[in-house]
Structure 1
Amino acid sequence: MKKITVCLLSVFLFVFLSEQSLFASAPERENHVQNISHMLQTKGLKKNFNNIYTEAAFLSFGEKQQLYSSCKDEPLAPFLINWLIGFGIGSFVQKDYLSGGLCLTADITSYGLGLTGLILWQKEFFDASRNADKDAGSLFRMVFSMGKALPFIVAGGILSTAFRIYGMIAPWVYGASYNKRLEEALRMGEARVSITPLVLPDASCGLALRLEL
């Protein structure tokens, strides 16, 4: 009986001290969560990776999951914007400035090529219409051949199509890379060890180690 009483007192003392430690560190851990959220919202993950990695060491696995869920990148909206509007706007919204800049430059260039082609085609069309009385077949040939305008229009169409496809793929690639980097910064792949007191049927007591991934 005395042995059981000693074991129970030891367990209760351990639990009491653990709870005191937990409650005492709760405000501090909450500060770490707020610090990480602030860093992600201001300067972003890339510039604050090392600071976030350091702060994440003080968080529980549940807090890391909560931070990851609220701060992870969602590529669906940027994908739809790049698909429906273009000009890399979706990538800029996603803060993927490299892909956004490439798509913006490509779309402006493709529209410029297309407009140049249309202007040349219109000029050639009017020139041919003036000579229609002399050469009736020249106007017909100009309408279907488009002369010098065709290469500009084709080049603009190919460039626009290629980077529209790139703009639809880029948000998913960037999102996957960002989320993986965020997991690394939050130390989500690291193991966490916790200690739990045990009272066995034979009245002996001990401690159990719990490994949390």
Structure 2
Amino acid sequence: MFADPTDFQKASLILNNAKIDTLSLVSQYTTGLSDSERMMLYNENKKDTTTAFLLNLLVGAGIGSYVQKDAKGGTTQLIGDIASGILMTVGYCQGMYEIIESIDSRVGTVMLATGLLSLISFRVFASIRPFDFAKDYNDKLSQVCYGKAVPEIAVMPVFLNNQLGVALQGKISF
């Protein structure tokens, strides 16, 4: 009744549900594909960084990494945000207690500052992680689809001599 799925459809189905570790399963279906089918498969399944970056930066809790199917990065940020929040809350409460009881101690202030510093550190991590994850995933995907890495050109922010600029970065692998 129903036609058997083509190799392209099988590879696409695996990639839609795949994690980075299961990309090698797709290679058995890409050998018979034409160059245009391989390019279409790569372009449809490559990871984008914009949504994950913005969600991680603005919302936090690893939401962007989870959207990108990066459980490791998402869990790291989630645990970091929770720990930072607890540290800041306990530091604030300790600081209020020290003020009310007229205790000459800086424990609350130190805890609050440490929590804030760790929150900022985890936000920096969460801002970088989507780009790192997407690069690794897209490199592995291109190796599965093409047998080698595809040429890439990317626009990268550059900070040089206290000035922010934009540079083009290219990569060609043989």
- Do they superpose with TM above 0.5? yes
Deviation at 1:164, TM superposition (A): 0.1
Report sequence identity in percent: 26
Q: Structure 1, residues 96-138: CA drift from partner, whole Å, max 9, x if none?
A: 111111111111001100000110111111112xxxxxxxxx8
Residues 46 and 141 of structure 2 are in contact (CA less than 8 Å); yes or no, is this contact kept in structure 1? yes
* Structure 2 unaligned blocks of 5 or more: 150-173
Alignment of 1:97-176 (within 5 A): 97-128=71-102, 147-176=106-135
Q: Does 1:31 align with 2:6?
A: yes
* Structure 1 unaligned blocks of 5 or more: 1-26, 129-137, 191-212
Deviation at 1:84, TM superposition (A): 0.3
In the alignment, which residue of structure 1 is the partner of 2:48? 74
Q: Does 1:60 align with 2:59?
A: no
Aligned-partner SS, 2:101: helix
Residues 39 and 45 of structure 1 are in contact (CA less than 8 Å); yes or no, is this contact kept in structure 2? no
Residues 91 and 109 of structure 2 are in contact (CA less than 8 Å); yes or no, is this contact kept in structure 1? yes
Aligned-partner SS, 1:118: helix
Aligned-partner SS, 1:186: helix
Write the distance in 2 (CA, Å) between the matches of 1:80 and 1:43.
23
Task: Choose between structure 1 and 2: higher helix proportion.
Answer: 1
Residues 87 and 111 of structure 2 are in contact (CA less than 8 Å); yes or no, is this contact kept in structure 1? yes
Write the distance in 2 (CA, Å) between the matches of 1:127 and 1:39.
62
Distance 1:32 1:45, change over 3 A: farther
Larger Rg: 1
Q: Does 1:94 align with 2:58?
A: no
What is the RMSD of the two structures over their aligned residues, measured on CA atoms? Answer: 2.2
Q: Does 1:177 align with 2:136?
A: yes
Residues 53 and 187 of structure 1 are in contact (CA less than 8 Å); yes or no, is this contact kept in structure 2? no
| Misfit runs of 4+, over 3 Å | none
TM-score by length of 1: 0.64
Write the distance in 2 (CA, Å) between the matches of 1:93 and 1:37.
19
TM-score by length of 2: 0.78
Alignment coverage as a number of residue pairs: 148
In the alignment, which residue of structure 2 is the partner of 1:40? 15
Residues 19 and 69 of structure 2 are in contact (CA less than 8 Å); yes or no, is this contact kept in structure 1? no
Q: Structure 1, residues 146-200: CA drift from partner, whole Å, max 9, x if none?
A: 622011011101110011001000000100110010001112539xxxxxxxxxx
Write the distance in 1 (CA, Å) between the matches of 2:13 and 2:83.
38
Residues 91 and 112 of structure 2 are in contact (CA less than 8 Å); yes or no, is this contact kept in structure 1? yes
